[in-house]
Amino acid sequence: MGGAYQLRVAATFLLIAGIASIAAAFDPSPLQDFCVAIDDPKLGVFVNGKFCKDPMQAKADDFTFSGLDMAGNTSNAVGSNVTLVNVDRLKGLNTLGISLARIDYAPYGGLNPPHTHPRASEILVVVKGSLYVGFVTSNPPKLFTKTLNVGDVFVFPIGLIHFQLNVANTNAIAFAGLSSQNPGTITIANAVFGSDPAINPDVLTKAFQVDKNVVDYLQKQFWPEN
């Protein structure tokens, strides 16, 4: 009787362990827009992320980046500049799931335009000036906004459209932490009206319910990626 009970307990434990292992198994998060499979490894050199240096060859410079003390050039159409420190600029970030950005905003009206990070949530802190920030949820869309001052922090959930606007008459500066070594950025206006090749105007005319002349005009504009 005792042996049969122990077997049932052991079988139950193994079943639970098996279910837990299946639940814990998952595909690795993408670190780029796509990674097309190939049958012959000789035909490809890309991986989901970066190749790793031999740990014995690593040095302190692999984990160091300098330059975030320098203001970015905001003399552009949107009046802002993003200095992103991701794995392409700081190799030691590889596999760590984080990156950092400095955002500079021109006086009143400097805008980090509506955009998304497909692979990262973002936490932003204002270190100079005042920013009107916000994000929009998935459908049905709901807008969350706040005016931030020095020392204030705001979170933008992964994949949601968000923005920051300088509402002060001085330059503004913010720093943002992102939960991916390569968060990616999709600037909405640029993606919709500035893609290469261009989206068929018929698609945009119907989607935005505007005249085709409006779409033609917008597609001819220069859309900064920021």
Q: Which residues are annotated binding-site positions for oxalate?
A: 112, 117, 122
Alpha-carbon 172 to chain mean position = 21
Q: Which residues are annotated binding-site positions?
A: 112, 115, 117, 122, 162
Q: Output phi, psi for 114, to 5 deg.
A: -50, 125
* Cβ atoms of 96 and 128 closer than 8 Å: no
**Amino acid symbol at 23:** A
Summarised one tens digit per residue, pLDDT across range 8-30 is 555 555 555 554 444 444 456 77
Model pTM?
Answer: 0.83
Summarised one tens digit per residue, pLDDT across range 48-78 is 778 888 888 889 999 999 999 999 999 999 9
Summarised one tens digit per residue, pLDDT across range 132-186 is 999 999 999 999 999 999 999 999 999 999 999 999 999 999 999 999 999 999 9
Q: Which residues are annotated binding-site positions for Mn(2+)?
A: 115, 117, 122, 162
